[in-house]
Every structure is written in C-alpha cells, then in structure tokens.
C-alpha cells in the first residue's frame, strides 16, 4: 500500500496543465465514442471485443502458454484491420455528423417568417387532429440534409403545406396514408415515402412497447439525416418527435410547436453552439420519463 501511494504521489507531482488538458481530451474522445455507440448493435459487438481482449490478456499474462501467446500476438494485427468493417455503419454515421457540424445556419426553405410560422402551425394543427382521431401519421421535416433518395420512393406532391392536406394524406385506407410525408419549406414534396427502419433496438427497451413501424421509421430517418420526424400513433394517438436517433414521446401540440420553432428558428446562442449540439446530441436530449433513450 505504501508503494502504491508513493507511485500515486509521484504521478500527481508530474502533472501540469498540459497533462490535464491531454487527459481531458482523451476522456472526451472516449465519452463521445461511447455516446455515439449507445443503444446500438455496435455496443453489443464492442462488449464482445472487450471481453475477448481481456480474456486473452489474462490467459497470456497469468499462464505460461508459449504457443497460444504466439498465436495471439500474430492475430491481434489482423483483428485491428477488421474494426472498420465491423463498425462501418457507426463510423459512417459519426463522420456524417461531423460533416453536418459545419452547417451552422439551419433552414426551413427560403421563405418569410410569416410563411414559416404558418407551415409549422399547419403541421401542429394536423398532428393534433390526427391524434384526436387516432389516425397514424409520419411527417418528416427536411432540414440541411438532402432527402431526394427517400422522396423518389414516394409520390410527388409539391403541395402547399396545410392542415387539411396533411389530414387528407393520412386518412385511413387512402392510397397515400401508408408511408411518410416529406416537407421542405412551405411545400409537401412527396407522400407515401419509404423510410429506413432503425436497427438500434431503442424502442424494444422502452417502457411501453406500443410502437410499430412508424416509430422505427422515424428513428431510422433521424439516424440517417438531420431531419425532424413527427409521429402520431395509430393505437394511442400519442404524438412523438424524433431527432438524432432520440425520441420524445407523448408531447402535447403546444410543446410540439415550441420544439419545431426551436429547431427551425433557433436563437443566436443556439446557432453559435449548434456544431456542439450536432456532435454530442446526447447532452441536449431530455431525460424525463417520456423520452426514449
């Protein structure tokens, strides 16, 4: 114990402000990596890799196994080359998020403030009416990322955004109700669009699992782009909103409108810090009981 304390004291004596910054940077990088991998299939793979590495270290250090130690030493370099392949989706998503961080000015199309507020109000009004009628809906609001790939999978509309149009699109058993409506600016660009499904498994671990393909699609498009997804549950009528792979559930229309206004018309402070929000969205996600983590 005395030797351990002496070694610890020796380490602290050598610390300076550069060493502290160095340690903090390394800690921040590891925390960012873990937050990006949180609630993804890659986290399960990472646990398996860590378990294998720890087991190999214990076997080679505690027991004298020359042949096994030789095999481990020669296999580790090959395992390092497999990391980019195993974690390819997560690495791609992280690089995309870093690339989006350079876009500091959010947009909702080149429209006036009045048109902007009318479009947001139309979305909120439609969501409230759909919720009261328990009509399922998935509304995607495009931001900076291009969604042409998903627009092409649906039916072109190019209609002005109104509550009545959204209600008609998501009326049960109509040709366009099954799928997502993509909005850009003051226009509904397309309807009945096919969205990518989330594979993170977040919804499976939520307190109530009354969420189907619409919610998985909302999380999926929020993981693949910076778009905002508004979901109305067909079973419960609950309104949810998804962004950056996180979902806030059971929100009322007033709160929905405030959230959308905050996303598309941020304050000066939010604009200046948006690069940090996009790199580390976990810090800016509500952690109340209604939030799916």
The 10s digit of each residue's pLDDT in 224-244 is: 888 999 999 988 899 999 988
Tokens of 242: 């998804």
pLDDT at 267: 43
Q: Give the mean pLDDT of 114-119.
A: 83
Q: CB burial class (10 A; 0-12, 13-18, 19+) of residue 227?
A: buried
pLDDT score for 116: 79
End-to-end CA distance of the chain: 42
3-state secondary structure of 252: coil
* Higher pLDDT pick, 38 / 116: 116
Q: What per-residue confidence (pLDDT) applies to 280?
A: 45
52-72 per-residue burial string, b: 16 or more CB within 10 A, e: under 16 = eeeebeeebeeeeeeeeeeeb
* Sign of the CA dihedral running 150, 155, 160, 162: negative
Which domains are assigned to the chain? 2-100 (no CATH), 113-267+283-292 (3.40.1700.10)
In terms of average pLDDT, the best of 37-51, 95-109, 269-283 is 37-51
Query: DSSP character for 205?
Result: G
Q: Where does the pLDDT of residue 89 fall: very low under 50, low under 70, confident under 90, or very high at 90 and above? A: low
Distance in angstroms (rounded) separating the CA atoms of residues 144 and 139: 16
- The pTM assigned to this predicted structure is 0.63
Alpha carbons 32 and 28: distance in angstroms, whole number: 6
């Amino acid at each position: 114990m005395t030797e351990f304390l002496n070694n610890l004291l020796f380490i602290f004596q050598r610390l300076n402000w550069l060493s502290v910054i160095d340690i903090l940077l390394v800690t921040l990088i590891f925390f960012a990596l873990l937050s990006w991998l949180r609630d993804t299939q890659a986290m399960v793979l990472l646990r398996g890799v860590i378990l294998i590495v720890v087991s190999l270290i214990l076997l080679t250090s505690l027991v004298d196994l020359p042949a096994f130690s030789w095999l481990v030493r020669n296999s580790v370099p090959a395992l390092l080359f497999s990391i980019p392949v195993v974690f390819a989706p997560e690495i791609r998503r992280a690089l995309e998020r870093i690339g989006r961080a350079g876009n500091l000015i959010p947009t909702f199309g080149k429209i006036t403030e009045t048109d902007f507020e009318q479009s947001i109000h139309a979305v909120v009004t439609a969501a409230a009416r759909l919720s009261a009628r328990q009509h399922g809906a998935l509304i995607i609001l495009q931001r900076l990322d291009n969604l042409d790939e998903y627009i092409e999978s649906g039916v072109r509309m190019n209609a002005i955004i109104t509550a009545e149009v959204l209600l008609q699109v998501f009326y049960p058993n109509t040709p366009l109700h099954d799928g997502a409506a993509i909005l850009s600016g003051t226009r509904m660009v397309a309807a009945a669009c096919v969205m990518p499904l989330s594979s993170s498994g977040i919804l499976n671990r939520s307190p109530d699992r009354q969420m189907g393909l619409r919610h998985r699609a909302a999380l999926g498009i929020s993981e693949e782009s910076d778009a905002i997804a508004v979901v109305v549950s067909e079973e419960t009528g609950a309104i949810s909103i998804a962004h950056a792979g996180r979902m806030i559930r059971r929100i009322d229309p007033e709160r929905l409108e405030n959230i959308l206004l905050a996303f598309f018309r941020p304050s000066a402070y939010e604009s200046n810090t948006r690069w940090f929000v996009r790199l580390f969205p976990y810090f800016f996600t509500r952690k109340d009981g209604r939030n799916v983590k």
